Amino acid sequence: MNELVITRNIEDVAVVGSWLFQKGIRTQRYYRRIVREFFHFFPGLTLKTTEVTHLALFLKASRESSDSTRNTYKNALSSLFSFATKTGYIPRNPALALENIKVPDRTYSKILSLEQVQQMILKEASERNKMIIKILYYTGIRVDEISKLNRYSFHESEMGAIMMVEGKGRKVRSLHLPDSLYLEIQKYISKLPSPYLFTTQNNCFGDYKPLSTSQIFRIIKNSAKTAKLNVSPSPHWLRHTSATHAIEAGAPIHVVQKSLGHESISTTGKYLDLRPQQSVGDYLKPLQSDPSPE
């Protein structure tokens, strides 16, 4: 059934296809694999015959995976059955009865120091890769957002240099750029062989195509390895690092929220508590020590 065949039920395939069509490219790929695994786990099962027991057993069988991965599995299946319910294809959503999978927030461990970011840039030989690191750090945008940038994403306004970013749901937001970064970008753009900001050459045809998100992942990991960092960061680490460093430097939380493209300020609020510089103990008087035993 090649890549699009997920269940053996033709009607199910149409519903799953319609659901996936509304997702981003990377999400489509990941969610398609999860749904295929689910229906391979229960041969003969369909969307209409799925019960909460099937979903729970499937997630339980994935216990060897991390909590984060299992939570992604749950979210993917919940999204599918929610869609099927909303369209009237099934009368009720069996995923509603699934219990939440608690995932510890380990964002604090995914923040690079300024020295580490600088070392990645200094040790990186490629001008293109240096620019990728700088834009990710100075703007906090997502990896799929940086892959879409082109020479027309930048312009000047009365308020200074602006970068237009296409985020989740194809929503476009504008980000103010530091003058120094904008000048570097303009110099970089002047040498571009194609409209896209970050490209790779297609050796078969000699033309240029934009870097994929997986290629950008590899670039960041290789840069960290070249810089001899003791961690192997992903592009998202630079997003966490950008937000955390900005807040520690005094950036208002609503500015960070807008830059990152968060719908809710509560999502951005987690960065306030990642590396606390003060706590209640800093405001309390020292306790007198117990008298030494005679």
CA dihedral angle for residue 10, residue 6, residue 100, residue 84, rounded to 10 degrees: -20
> Tens digits of per-residue pLDDT, 229-268?
999 999 999 999 999 999 888 888 899 999 998 888 888 8
Same domain, 33 and 177: no
Same domain, 247 and 113: yes
Domain holding 36, by residue range, is: 10-97
Q: Which two tokens stand for residue 122?
A: 């200094």
- Give the residue from 142, 150, 165, 147 showing the smallest Cα distance to 240: 142
Q: What is the DSSP string of 84-152?
A: HHHTTSSSS-GGGGPPP------GGGG---HHHHHHHHHH---HHHHHHHHHHHHH---HHHHHT-BGG
Q: How confident is the model at residue 8 (pLDDT cuts 50, 70, 90)?
A: low
> Tens digits of per-residue pLDDT, 81-107?
999 999 999 999 999 988 877 766 566
- pTM here? 0.69
37-46, 101-110, 166-175: which range is least confident on average? 101-110
Alpha-carbon gap, residue 258 to 12, rounded angstroms: 39
Residue 131 forms part of a structural domain: yes
Same domain, 52 and 19: yes
8-12, 134-138, 149-153: which range is least confident on average? 8-12
**CATH code for position 208:** 1.10.443.10
Q: Which two tokens stand for residue 123?
A: 């040790």
Residue 284 forms part of a structural domain: no
Helices 114-123 + 235-248 axis angle, to 10: 130
Same domain, 87 and 124: no
> Tens digits of per-residue pLDDT, 186-230?
999 999 988 999 998 766 666 888 999 999 999 999 999 999 999
How many folded domains does the chain comprise?
2
